[in-house]
Amino acid sequence: MTAENANTVWAEAFVDELARSGVREICLTPGSRSIPLILAVAAHPALRVHTHLDERSAGFFALGLGKATGRPAGVVTTSGTAAANLLPSVVEAAQAETPLLVLTADRPPYLRHTDASQTIDQVRLYGGFVRAFFDVPTPQMDDAPLRALRALAGRAVGVATGLPAGPVHLNFPFAKPLEPTAAPAGIREAMREFSLASAGRDGEAPFVRVTSSTQTATGPAIEQLADSLRAAARTLIVAGPVPDPGLAGAALLRLAGLRDLPLLADPLSGARFAPGSAQCALSHYDAFLRDPELWSRLTPDLILRFGAAPISSAVADFLEHFSRVRQVVVDPGWLWKDHLSTAAEYLPAAVAGVASALADRVGETGRSAWTDRWRDLDRCARETFAQQHADRPFEGTVLSRIVGALPEGTNVLVGNSMPIRDLDRFVTARNERLRVHGNRGASGIDGLVSTALGVAAASSGPTVAILGDLSFYHDLNGLFAARGVGDATGVVFVVINNDGGGIFHMLPIREFEPAFTRHIVVPHGLDFSHAARLYGLPFTRLGMEEDVAGAVTAALETDGSAVIEVSSEREQNRRRHEESLAAVRAAARTLAWGERE
């Protein structure tokens, strides 16, 4: 053991137990009060360390690591506002059910609620957004406290990775000296008396192996749902965002394929870009479901909803309209996944497990004319989009071309506001697997640069982040990690720059000038080439009519990160969206009823 005082013995024992419990990635930020934890992490051979200057960026980087691996990454901060800066990433981890371990250093208890420098109340700092909070005892060089500390590490990992997964906060009070110092007389001799507590179990085994909580549907519940599925003539599957898209998406595609069911595949469901998606998943439902007159042609008698609410507001309106139809929600998560209160049944169980169990029980059916009706409308929307904007690209078509050209296995982080909505509406399902990520738990625009870099650091394959200009601006500090600090692999950042909050042009508030432009859109006029130069990243600026997809492909063939800015005009983009939806509406009505207006 390298430690020479109580603080470092304590920190090393806890960090060692995190590694034994499966943690492999830790994000560090500079600080004094956190020195015992920093040194313990830096010295541990099983941990990969990612060092950041900005705590907020560090938190979102750790969030990206958790999204990519399903295992909690740790993030270490010093005391005070440094710890408070993690709140946005903690909120997103909670809402998105992503594992995360927050390790905050604190002043010793006798300095709390005083005017000691850099001291705030850190007890339950993140409120109800953490799955568990532990105010770790002050370091004690006795057998029982050290055993309890090791057990606490295993317990924290178990809670963070359980169902539902999420953030766990551990607050470590340390008194000076914070750096390793000469050991008090007799400390080494005393440590030998409880070697199990200080050194851990033999063979690098965890001190206590914690089995994460799981939620599986019982046999009777599955059988009843299978009976309902067999009896229904018009079953609709709605696949929303899930924490495990790889497993869930494959299971849902199998179920939809066996029963020939229409599957509305949200981009974050895992069912939009995977083997079988082109045959089973619908992509452009957000466009044709915006016309309520079509709903009578698509009336279901059973709706199976998996995961969180889809991104599409048109789907939400459709589900609310058919609230009298039996709707079954399947999701094991922390939040109630029925904010419109339209579900008749709620099954708190893992999506992949339920979908697989249903597929095993219900058997295969022939082709469904009702499903063909959905497919025809989806194809109609896709072809209309292609014809409408073949020579007039806008943000939606540019995003579609980028994603359509990405190689199989690419990690895609899509920003909130317009990019994720454009992906949902305009990008067609394909059979090549893409791992699509988004921070849709709280749907904020903060931390997206860092989340993308965290995803890249823990994933195989290239990574592309498609962000709006405000999202990119909001986390410019995250580009510190794009230089390769912390072993992050490269990310190609595509910044769709419409000089402000373009999504607000889609809302009625756009008519209220001058307050609308000055205080809501807030044009910034920033030149992002300077940000790229600050961090030593290649920068390219293109217009909508240029070959953006080709530029992204070329950037993926080089080492390191790059920034590609795509210039857009907000009002023109709004008109293109409205023209697209109007064209789909006309084409879909012609398909459904013949020439009719």
E strands in 405-487: 411-414, 435-437, 463-468
CB contact at 8 A, 404 and 424: no
Are 364 and 414 members of one domain? no
pLDDT in tens, 531-561: 999 999 999 999 999 999 999 999 999 889 9
Whole-angstrom distance, CA of residue 384 vs CA of residue 380:
6
DSSP 518: I
With respect to residue 12, please indicate whether it lies within any of the assigned structural domains: yes
With respect to residue 327, please indicate whether it lies within any of the assigned structural domains: yes
Are 99 and 30 members of one domain? yes
Are 419 and 372 members of one domain? no
Q: What is the pLDDT of residue 2?
A: 42
Q: What is the pLDDT of residue 504?
A: 76
Q: In b/e form, how buried is each residue of 368-392, taking b as 16+ CB within 10 angstroms?
A: bebbebbeebbebbbebbeebbeee
Tokens read off for 475? 């986390």
With respect to residue 556, please indicate whether it lies within any of the assigned structural domains: yes
Q: What is the pLDDT of residue 485?
A: 47
**Residue at which a domain ends, from 352, 385, 418:** 385
Tokens read off for 328? 């079954």
Whole-angstrom distance, CA of residue 148 vs CA of residue 152:
6
DSSP helix/strand/coil, 304? strand
DSSP helix/strand/coil, 485? helix
DSSP helix/strand/coil, 592? helix
Are 431 and 467 members of one domain? yes
| Spatial CB neighbours of 176, under 8 Å, sequence gap ≥ 6 | none
Tokens read off for 111? 């300095």
Whole-angstrom distance, CA of residue 37 vs CA of residue 178:
10
> Where does the pLDDT of residue 187 fall: very low under 50, low under 70, confident under 90, or very high at 90 and above?
low
Q: What is the pLDDT of residue 596?
A: 44
Tokens read off for 566? 């795509």
**Residue at which a domain ends, from 204, 237, 252:** 204
The span from the first CA to the last CA of the chain, in angstroms, equals 80
Which CATH number covers residue 571?
Answer: 3.40.50.970
Q: Which is nearest to 365 in space by CA: 235, 456, 551, 185?
A: 235
With respect to residue 595, please indicate whether it lies within any of the assigned structural domains: no
E strands in 375-439: 411-414, 435-437
CB contact at 8 A, 458 and 111: no
Are 378 and 429 members of one domain? no
Q: What is the mean pLDDT of residues 566-581?
A: 91
Q: What is the mean pLDDT of residues 62-86?
A: 97
CB contact at 8 A, 396 and 422: yes
Whole-angstrom distance, CA of residue 475 vs CA of residue 264:
32
How many separate domains does the chain show?
3
pTM listed for this prediction: 0.94
Considering only 171-185, 226-240, 453-467, 579-593, which range has the smallest mean pLDDT?
Answer: 171-185
With respect to residue 461, please indicate whether it lies within any of the assigned structural domains: yes
pLDDT in tens, 494-521: 999 998 877 777 778 788 888 878 877 7
Are 62 and 193 members of one domain? yes
Whole-angstrom distance, CA of residue 229 vs CA of residue 464:
39
Whole-angstrom distance, CA of residue 451 vs CA of residue 464:
11
| Spatial CB neighbours of 430, under 8 Å, sequence gap ≥ 6 | 273, 277, 278, 404
Whole-angstrom distance, CA of residue 133 vs CA of residue 122:
11
Are 128 and 234 members of one domain? no
Are 335 and 258 members of one domain? yes
Asked if the model's pLDDT at residue 183 lies above 80, the reply is no
CB contact at 8 A, 281 and 263: yes
Pairing of strands 562-567, 539-543: parallel
Are 172 and 229 members of one domain? no
With respect to residue 362, please indicate whether it lies within any of the assigned structural domains: yes
Are 462 and 500 members of one domain? yes
> Where does the pLDDT of residue 124 fall: very low under 50, low under 70, confident under 90, or very high at 90 and above?
very high
Whole-angstrom distance, CA of residue 49 vs CA of residue 25:
6
Q: What are phi and psi of 281, to 5 degrees?
A: -95, 135
CB contact at 8 A, 29 and 78: yes
Whole-angstrom distance, CA of residue 2 vs CA of residue 180:
9
With respect to residue 278, please indicate whether it lies within any of the assigned structural domains: yes
CB contact at 8 A, 444 and 416: yes
The single-letter code of the amino acid at 582 is A
Q: Which is nearest to 232 in space by CA: 243, 244, 224?
A: 224
Q: What is the pLDDT of residue 19?
A: 97
Whole-angstrom distance, CA of residue 253 vs CA of residue 270:
9
pLDDT in tens, 323-380: 999 999 999 988 999 999 999 999 999 999 999 999 999 988 988 999 999 999 999 9
Whole-angstrom distance, CA of residue 230 vs CA of residue 238:
17
**Residue at which a domain ends, from 354, 385, 416:** 385
What is the chain's mean pLDDT, rounded?
Answer: 92
Are 200 and 307 members of one domain? no
CA contacts within 13 A on the Cβ side of 25: 28
- Supply the range of the domain harboring residue 466: 389-579
With respect to residue 596, please indicate whether it lies within any of the assigned structural domains: no
Counting every residue, how long is the chain? 597
β-sheet bridge partners, residue 60: none
**Among all chains, which residue has been given the structure tokens 């599409």?**
312
Are 33 and 179 members of one domain? yes
Whole-angstrom distance, CA of residue 103 vs CA of residue 122:
11
Whole-angstrom distance, CA of residue 421 vs CA of residue 286:
9
Whole-angstrom distance, CA of residue 257 vs CA of residue 364:
8
CB contact at 8 A, 75 and 86: yes
Which CATH number covers residue 340?
Answer: 3.40.50.1220
Q: What is the dihedral of CA 103, 471, 520, 500, to 10 degrees?
A: 160
Whole-angstrom distance, CA of residue 354 vs CA of residue 362:
12
